[in-house]
Amino acid sequence: MGSIPLIDLVVIAVYMVGITAAGLWSVRKQELTGKVYFLAGRTLKWPVIGAAMFAANISTIHLVGLAEGGYKYGVVIGNFEWMATFTLILLALIFAPFYFKSKISTLPEFLETRYSPAARTLAAFMAILSALLIHIGISLFAAAAVFKEFFGINILASIFIISAFTAVYTVLGGLKAVVVTETIQTFILLGGAILTTVLGILALPKAGIHNFSQFHAAIKPDQLTMLQSHNTAGFNWYAIFLGYPILGIWYWCTDQTIVQRLLGAKTERDAQHGALFAGLLKITPVFFLVFPGVLAYVLFKDIIGTDAKQALPVLIHQLVPIGLRGLIAAGMLAALMSTIAAALNSAATLVAVDIVHRIRPNTPDRTQVNIGKAASIVVMLLAMVWSTQGGRFGSIFEAINKMPAQFLAPPITTVFLWGVFWRRGTKEAALTTLLFGFIGGFILFLLDLPLFGNVQLVTQGLGIGFMMQAWWGFCICSVIYVVVSLLTPKPALAKIKDLTWEHPLEMMKYGKGGGLGNPRLIAVALLLLMAVLYMVMR
């Protein structure tokens, strides 16, 4: 570790230049109006939507963090992937019909339609903050740390180089360039992950592992169990099933960085099918990103020891030949660049549409695009500065989940979920919930950072893991939302009836027809598949 062979360097360089060129080529003949730049002209079909949502989600943090989790805890960490499938089903059946019918450009815009302009402004600020702090900043640090470990490249140099290449096609090409590159990167990412997994399995006989019984004897207890009752890291089955939906609904159903691809759908059916396709893709990381961590434990625990974050680097350096390491590095770049590009484009959209256009409605279309480009550059620069602080966190994968679990997911999930299912919910309740949830949660985050000392006051001091913090935060925000709603005038039914379900089961009757392409039938098939998988790996 620490030096980069010439052939690997060539593969990486060719990839970075090639993917940038592909992004710019995809928009070469299009006039970049606001509709094209921010929503790809609403022309996206479901395969592209699903692949782009998957690629926007999978970052270098996932590649390294999931392998680290597999080594340290086992496949239980894969619940972060499989539970996403359930929330993507919710996106397809519950939220997508409203998003598509209302022709919104951003998720905060939906909150203005359902509640008030103030709710939209606050939600836009929270979304920009999440893009800067989580999607870009922490992802940059994780990638730079990995490249330093693999090839000895200085962390600051890595941050600058990766940022520059990604910003070029994102700022110049808009959403169309982003989703085209994300679709390509999905295949590169999965290819690299599958290659590493296959090489790990093929290496088992050399380690004396010739059958599953021998493999099972070589791993930790419950390392292949998805549902654990006694997990010291806070990943108990009840924490996952209570806490993850709060994180998942925020991330997969309401976060601009992810859902923007769905907003660019050509038809409502494309939007729903795209979400379900992403749900199908989210099954794969357990086998190709988490399981390699288990393989690393069996094959190289004597080398890795207790430093679980070395699971993937050691696996690659021990098993992957020179030349193919460049392909793996390209896959890691694919993961990182997809995440950063998605966040940059969403931040540009939020600033131009939710802030500038609201303050100055008569802003020309071309000016909005230019403002969006400028916002992308500013956010990128701020994220680069923040990324240098990534070393303050113990576990990067935990950090990207802990931040939203504390001050983003509970209030946002509350106002969206109650907003579409309870017509009595008021604009005052939404604003109060967002303010209280964000400010209170941010204080909680500062206490748990920690700013002073080495003790996380909530997670360690009180023994409440971040998954349960998300659940209890949602419960508190829900109480606030309901109480304030009942104390304030009910909204006019004419204003909200097309933005809410009359009752929870109404969504099951929506959009009849379509034969085997009916989203409800596809969702049921996906649920059955998940049930079988959980039974096999319980």
- Decide which of 266 and 147 is more confident: 266
Task: Supply the CATH number for residue 318's domain.
Answer: 1.20.1730.10
The whole-number pLDDT of residue 34 equals 46
Q: Mapping DSSP to helix (H, G, I), strand (E, B) and coil, where does residue 362 land?
A: coil
In angstroms, rounded to a whole number, what is the distance separating the alpha carbons of residues 114 and 95? 13
Q: How far from each other are the two terminal CA atoms of the chain, in whole angstroms?
A: 37
Please report which confidence band the pLDDT of residue 46 belongs to, taking 50, 70 and 90 as the band edges: very high
State the Cα–Cα distance between residues 143 and 334, nearest whole angstrom.
Answer: 11
Average pLDDT, integer, range 480-499: 94
Share of the chain above pLDDT 70, in %: 80
Asked whether residue 22 carries a pLDDT value surpassing 60, the answer given is yes
| Higher pLDDT among residues 310 and 80, named by residue | 80
pLDDT at 114 over 50: yes
pLDDT value of residue 153: 67
- Residue 427: the pLDDT is 96
* Count of domains for the chain: 1
| Alpha-carbon torsion (211, 212, 217, 223), positive or negative | positive
Are the beta carbons of 424 and 102 closer than 8 angstroms? no
Tokens of residue 224, six digits: 């292949």
Residue 41: pLDDT above 90?
no
User: What average pLDDT score do residues 482-502 get?
Assistant: 92
> Would you say residue 460 lies in a domain?
no
For 29, list phi and psi in degrees, rounded to 5: -105, 5
pLDDT above 70: residue 514 = no
Predicted confidence (pLDDT) at residue 39 exceeds the cutoff of 70: no
Q: How confident is the model at residue 201 (pLDDT cuts 50, 70, 90)?
A: very high
Mean pLDDT along residues 81-109: 91
Evaluate whether 294 touches 215 at the Cβ level (below 8 Å): no
Q: Which residues of 270-298 are buried (b: 16+ CB within 10 A; e: fewer)?
A: bbbbbbbbbbbbbbebbebbbbbbbbbbb
Mean pLDDT check: name the lowest of 23-27, 282-286, 309-313, 362-366.
23-27
Over range 302-328, report the average pLDDT.
Answer: 83
In a domain, 296, yes or no: yes
Which pLDDT score, from 0 to 100, does residue 272 have?
94
Residue 439 lies inside a defined structural domain of this protein? no
The more confidently predicted of residues 344 and 24 is 344
Domain carrying residue 174: 6-24+43-395
- Does residue 109 belong to any structural domain of this protein? yes
Backbone angles phi, psi at 44, to 5 degrees: -75, 135
pLDDT above 90 (res 23): no
- Across the range 252-267, mean pLDDT stands at 87
378: tokens are: 């500013």
Mean pLDDT of 445-461: 70
- Predicted confidence at residue 504, as pLDDT, reads 75
- What is the rounded distance in angstroms from the CA atom of residue 121 to the CA atom of residue 112? 8
- pTM equals 0.85
- Mean local confidence (pLDDT), 49-57: 84
Average confidence score pLDDT of the chain: 82
Instruction: Check pLDDT > 60 for residue 184.
Output: yes
Q: How would residue 174 be classed by pLDDT, with cut points 50, 70 and 90?
A: low
- pLDDT at residue 80 above 50? yes
Domain assignment present for 216: yes
The whole-number pLDDT of residue 533 equals 94
Query: Phi, psi (5° rounding) for residue 422?
Result: -130, 105
